[in-house]
Amino acid sequence: MGFGHHGGGFALVVVLFILLIIVGAACFC
């Protein structure tokens, strides 16, 4: 926590993006 960007909003976006990739890969397989 405390990246200095949007108070952690950027980290949240990254986490959601990674989860989307994982779910997409699981569905693709």
Domain ranges of the chain: 1-29
Helix (H, G, I), strand (E, B) or coil at 7: coil
Q: How far apart are CA 10 and CA 29, in angstroms?
A: 29
pLDDT tens sequence across 1-29: 555 556 667 888 899 999 999 998 887 76
Prediction pTM value: 0.54
